Chains A and B, each alone.
Chain A
Amino acid sequence: MNMTNKEYSKFVTDRQPHSPVVKDTLFAFLFGGGICLLGKGLTELYMLAGAAETVAKTCSTISLIFLSGLSTALGFYDKIAKVAGAGIVVPITGFANSVVSPAMEFRSEGLVLGLGAKMFIVAGPVIVFGLISSVLYGIIYWIAGVI
């Protein structure tokens, strides 16, 4: 066998098993939709309990974050995510999991340098680039207002 790296790359790609895209997409749709439905249901419940709509929406978001953190701590979030994929990762539930899981993981390296410092190794970039894009959006919004 005498292959260049380019030929080998083709040799591998031709034989490589692929992720089940249709199944993954379907489950992502169902779980993602399910989480949105749960959020909507919670909002309605909070409104029934007398909260104003904006307050109810905030409470619903907080509840989803709590549930995600709790299921991560209890060790079954990752098992759901294996099936649900992007359906559970993309909503706010994914963000909560990405903060809680490293916090648990690095607890063994201490409260400050472990949990505290490494809590944002996954979510950090989301925060950084989220802030940058919100600033950019603000500038564009302001320019548009001046014009």
Chain B
Amino acid sequence: MTKRLGRSTVAFGNPPCIRANACVAGKKEGEGPLGNSFDIVNNDTSFGEKSWEKAESRMQELVLAKALSKAALSPPDVDMIFAGDLLNQCIGSAFALKDAEIPYFGLYGACSTMAEGLILASAAVDGGFANRAAAMTSSHFCSAERQYRMPLEYGSQRTPTAQWTVTGAGCAIVTAEDLGGAYVTHACVGQIVDAGVKDAANMGAAMAPAAYRTITDILDQSGSAPEDFDLIVTGDLGFFGGELLREMFELDGVELLNHTDCGEMIFDRESQDVHAGGSGCGCSASVFCGEILNSMRAGRLARVLFAGTGALMSPVSTNQGSSIPCIAHAVIVSSTR
């Protein structure tokens, strides 16, 4: 039986198995350090579509199809899908799934969407509401740039703390069946933390306190210590936010030696000119549903704490001078049940 371990953490009674994971990425991501971990890399980033929004939906169609084929399933075998993206009204997900005929929940958790979807899919499976449930998300540099910042060809200089929205998508299918590989054992539902940061070009600093809060909560409530994990991975604080998080734990006398961030992993800091690293739903989704889960399946990682972090602002709230409310959702994924 699922147990509530505390205010925000649960331990799943029958930890759902991640039956398949797949990821898709754009050209720049394909040229990065994780290039080989993506199932599909599109070299012109338009994914054969006429608009960037359609390209983003196409990525989700591709990643879902890939995850289904890896799981040897077809759409009717999936009882529920939890999907979201960065675009207004989540059109990336809705348009990708309009012909899929899969019961659908649309999510908005910004860059935390992969973790949020995974928690909900796992809860649906462990609660018996679905035999198989999927979590999926995407982001596209070009569609995010025009919505949150400036037109693509507008000439400007980025600040050193600005992060680069990843063009990518990830999908994980969880199931009640015991098929090995990776299991979602615990989940921690994040609370919104607003540390007063107003600079939308410094999202790592805005989100780091939310990540700190959720990681502290899940460690405390599940009775774990950082050393119990082969990897603690956040997504996507980037280089600056990642450093801040590690320093915050240091102030508590805790060294997060095994911590890294999806935004630090996906790009090469020096050669790819991405300033503070990657961001966007597709960053943590394509890293978690690629490199990390693949490493677990290959036996290189046994226990991973994955905390997706999201900055919940909009261009409107930024223009109105509001600070950025942030969230982090965490799951513990283990290679044993």
* Contact assessment for A81 and B155 in the assembled complex, using a CB-CB cutoff below 8 Å: yes
* Contact assessment for A12 and B152 in the assembled complex, using a CB-CB cutoff below 8 Å: no
Give complex CA distance A50, B195 in Å. 64
Given contacts A81-B157, A104-B151, contact A11 B244 (CB under 8 A): yes
**Cβ-closest chain B residue relative to A94:** B155
Give complex CA distance A88, B160 in Å. 20
Q: Does B156 contact A (CB under 8 A)?
A: yes
* Contact assessment for A16 and B154 in the assembled complex, using a CB-CB cutoff below 8 Å: no
* Contact assessment for B157 and A1 in the assembled complex, using a CB-CB cutoff below 8 Å: no
B150 CB contacts on chain A under 8 angstroms: 101, 122
Q: Does A72 contact B (CB under 8 A)?
A: yes
A82 CB contacts on chain B under 8 angstroms: 155-158
Give complex CA distance A82, B52 in Å. 23
**Cβ-closest chain A residue relative to B212:** A1
Q: Which of A19, A75, A104 contacts B160 (CB 8 A)?
A: A19
**Cβ-closest chain B residue relative to A72:** B153
Give complex CA distance A102, B244 in Å. 35
* Contact assessment for B151 and A102 in the assembled complex, using a CB-CB cutoff below 8 Å: yes
Which one of B13-21, B164-172, B247-255, B285-293 is at the interface?
Answer: B247-255
B52 CB contacts on chain A under 8 angstroms: 108
Give the Cβ gap from B220 to chain A, nearest Cβ, in Å: 13
A85 CB contacts on chain B under 8 angstroms: 157
Interface size on A, residues (CB 8 A): 37
Q: Does B50 contact A (CB under 8 A)?
A: yes
Give the Cβ gap from B213 to chain A, nearest Cβ, in Å: 9
Give complex CA distance A19, B161 in Å. 9
A101 CB contacts on chain B under 8 angstroms: 150-155
Give the Cβ gap from B147 to chain A, nearest Cβ, in Å: 11
Q: Which of B158, B159, B202, B209 contacts A8 (CB 8 A)?
A: B209
Q: Does A97 contact B (CB under 8 A)?
A: yes
* Contact assessment for B244 and A108 in the assembled complex, using a CB-CB cutoff below 8 Å: no
Q: Does A53 contact B (CB under 8 A)?
A: no
Given contacts A81-B156, A108-B51, contact A12 B151 (CB under 8 A): no
**Cβ-closest chain A residue relative to B205:** A12
* Contact assessment for A8 and B161 in the assembled complex, using a CB-CB cutoff below 8 Å: no
Residues 27-52 of chain B, each 1 if its beta carbon lies under 8 Å from chain A, else 0? 00000000000000000000000111
B153 CB contacts on chain A under 8 angstroms: 72-73, 75, 77-78, 97, 100-101, 104-105
* Contact assessment for A78 and B152 in the assembled complex, using a CB-CB cutoff below 8 Å: yes
Residues 229-244 of chain B, each 1 if its beta carbon lies under 8 Å from chain A, else 0? 0000000000010011
* Contact assessment for B161 and A88 in the assembled complex, using a CB-CB cutoff below 8 Å: no
* Contact assessment for A98 and B154 in the assembled complex, using a CB-CB cutoff below 8 Å: yes
Q: Which of B151, B243, B252 contacts A122 (CB 8 A)?
A: B151
Give B68-104 interface residues, CB cut-off 8 Å to A: none
* Contact assessment for B248 and A1 in the assembled complex, using a CB-CB cutoff below 8 Å: yes
Given contacts A8-B209, A12-B205, A81-B157, contact A1 B151 (CB under 8 A): no
Q: Which of A15, A19, A72, A104 contacts B159 (CB 8 A)?
A: A19
Give A56-107 interface residues, CB cut-off 8 Å to B: 72-73, 75, 77-78, 80-82, 84-85, 88-89, 94, 97-98, 100-102, 104-106
**Cβ-closest chain B residue relative to A16:** B161
Give the Cβ gap from A32 to chain B, nearest Cβ, in Å: 13
Give the Cβ gap from A108 to chain B, nearest Cβ, in Å: 4
Given contacts A9-B197, A17-B160, contact A88 B155 (CB under 8 A): yes
Give B199-237 interface residues, CB cut-off 8 Å to A: 202, 205, 209, 212
Q: Does A134 contact B (CB under 8 A)?
A: no
Residues of A within 8 A of B (CB): 1, 3, 5-6, 8-9, 11-12, 15-19, 24, 72-73, 75, 77-78, 80-82, 84-85, 88-89, 94, 97-98, 100-102, 104-106, 108, 122
Nearest first, the 4 A-B pairs at minimum CB distance are A81-B155, A5-B196, A105-B151, A17-B160
A selection of 24 A-B contacts at a CB cut-off of 8 Å is: A1-B251, A8-B195, A9-B196, A15-B240, A15-B247, A16-B160, A16-B161, A16-B205, A17-B160, A77-B153, A77-B155, A78-B153, A81-B156, A82-B156, A82-B158, A85-B157, A94-B155, A97-B154, A98-B154, A101-B153, A102-B154, A104-B152, A108-B52, A108-B53
